[in-house]
Amino acid sequence: MSVKQHIKEYKRELVLEAAAKLFYEKGFQKTTIDDIGAALGVTKPFIYTYFENKYAILEQLFDQSYGDLYVDLTQVLNDKKGSAKDRLQRFVALYVAKNIEYQKFSAIMLEEEKSLSSKKIGDIRRKQRDFDARLARLIEEGASNGEFHVSDPMIASLAISGMVRWTHRWYSPQGRLSVADLTRTMSDLALNLVGCVRA
């Protein structure tokens, strides 16, 4: 990548960061291109140099957050090393940590999905179904080898994902639990949910 391309990408990232902050604080519908420009100290044409409109900015934020989050999580789900119990613990711990790391993006993803195009929503739904199916297969594997006692792996998968995805709503770094404490607690809850046989 040339220096010119690096600079262009850097400016795009500045727009995305400013927009994410405003979408999180004000909501997508109440945020204007002028607001984003004002936050950066630039004019509206500067924003339009990099994005067609604020919907394009929102879709880019979704692509980035899903890419960063689900690539890492899918790698854990695809890793066949260790017991199903250990792999589920690793998965939930990473899922919780990532949701906290991307707390702002998690909130935007859940609150503003309705503002996306039908094509983008369809793409997200396909990725979510694939993700849930991979987690369900891990749970099913644990059930088949006697590590877990759960009658419906897919429902268990959806329950675990739902439990973790909402941590952005209530977790606070100033609260009584550290990130490490929370990941351990949520991992234990996930094991209880699938009826894990403890040693």
Residue 7: CATH number of its domain: 1.10.10.60
**Tokens found for residue 164:** 């973790």
Judged against a pLDDT cut of 70, whether residue 46 lies above it is answered with yes
pLDDT at 7: 83
pLDDT at 199: 59
How confident is residue 64, by pLDDT bands cut at 50, 70 and 90?
Answer: confident
N-terminal to C-terminal alpha carbon distance within the chain? 52
pLDDT at 74: 84
Per the CB < 8 A criterion, the answer to whether 91 and 138 are in contact is: yes
Same domain (yes/no): 110, 38: no
Per the CB < 8 A criterion, the answer to whether 76 and 94 are in contact is: yes
User: Of 130, 136, 140, 128, which Cα lies nearest the Cα of 154?
Assistant: 136
- Look at residue 198 and tell me if it is in a domain: no
Residue 114 DSSP label: G
Same domain (yes/no): 67, 165: yes
How confident is residue 33, by pLDDT bands cut at 50, 70 and 90?
Answer: very high
Same domain (yes/no): 33, 96: no
Residue in this structure with the two tokens 């309705």, named with its chain if needed = 114
Q: What domain range includes position 6? A: 1-51
Any idea what the CATH number is for the domain that residue 137 is in?
1.10.357.10
User: What's the mean pLDDT when you consider all of the chain?
Assistant: 88
| Residues above pLDDT 90, as percent of the chain | 50
CA angle 180, 183, 186 (to 5 degrees): 145
Judged against a pLDDT cut of 70, whether residue 111 lies above it is answered with yes
pLDDT at 75: 85
SS3 label, residue 119:
helix
Q: How many CA atoms within 13 Å lie on the side-chain side of 199?
A: 3
| Residue 154 exposed, middle or buried by CB count within 10 Å (0-12, 13-18, 19+) | middle
Q: What is the pTM of this model?
A: 0.81
Judged against a pLDDT cut of 70, whether residue 198 lies above it is answered with no
Last residue of a domain, one of 13, 32, 51: 51
Same domain (yes/no): 141, 76: yes
How far is residue 43 from each of residues 16, 26, 48, measured CA to CA in Å?
A: 15, 20, 9
